Chains A and B, each alone.
Chain A
C-alpha cells in the first residue's frame, strides 16, 4: 500500500480556505485517494474520494494532478467546527484502510 506524507499540523482562521496537500509518490494504478476527518473522541468520517482530476462535494474539493503523485484537499471557508485531524489514505478503497498520523487543523476565530 502506498505511503502518504502530509503536514503534521496547520493553522487557519474562520472564513479562510484551507488546502492540505498529501504526497503519495508510489501510488498504484488501482489506488484511489480518500480523505477522512476525525474529531476528538470520535471515529473517522469519510470526506471525499477521487481517482484523478477534480472531485467536489458539499463539504470539500479534491484536486489530483495528472501524475497522481500528490493530492490536495480543499476546505472552503472553514469554521471553528472544522478543527480536526485530516487523514489522506491511498489504496484500492476497500478492505483495510492505512492511516498515517494525519494533519491537525486548528481553526481560530
Chain B
C-alpha cells in the first residue's frame, strides 16, 4: 500500500508565477490536509478537504491560495502570483473516512522556492 504521494518534491518559481502542488492520499483515504512549514518552525495547518468539499480552510491565506480535492485525481494546492514569503515546505496528509481518533499519514512534502 503506497503512502501519501506528493509531487513535485521540489519546485522553483519566480515571483508572480503560479505554483501547483499535488497530493495523492493513501488508498482508501478520503480526508486530505495541507500544512505549511517554514524553516525551523512547526507545521501550520492550512486546509482540510474531503472529496469535492472544503471542510476547514481556517489556515489558508485569504488571497492567492486555493485548494481542491476533486472526485477523481489528486488534491491540488494552488498558489497564484507567488512571493518570496511563500517559500516553504508544503506537506499533505491523509486519513481514512472513519470518524474518530486516528493518525494522519504525511507525504514527503514539496519544497517551494520562490526566486
| Residues in chain A within 8 A of chain B (CB atoms) | 32, 34, 41-46, 49, 87, 92-102
Contacts and interface: CB of A to CB of B under 8 A. Distances in A.
Chain A interface SS verdict (over half) = loop
Given A32-B101, A99-B42, A102-B42, 20 more contacts: A43-B107, A44-B43, A44-B91, A46-B103, A46-B104, A49-B101, A87-B42, A92-B101, A93-B101, A94-B95, A94-B99, A94-B101, A96-B45, A96-B48, A96-B58, A96-B59, A97-B33, A97-B45, A99-B43, A101-B42
A25 B56 CA distance: 26
A97 B44 CA distance: 8
B102 interface: yes
Given A43-B108, A97-B43, A98-B45, A49 B103 contact: yes
Nearest to A100: B42
Given A43-B108, A101-B41, A102-B42, A96 B103 contact: no
Interface of B: 4, 33, 35, 41-45, 48, 55-56, 58-59, 91, 93, 95, 99-109, 111
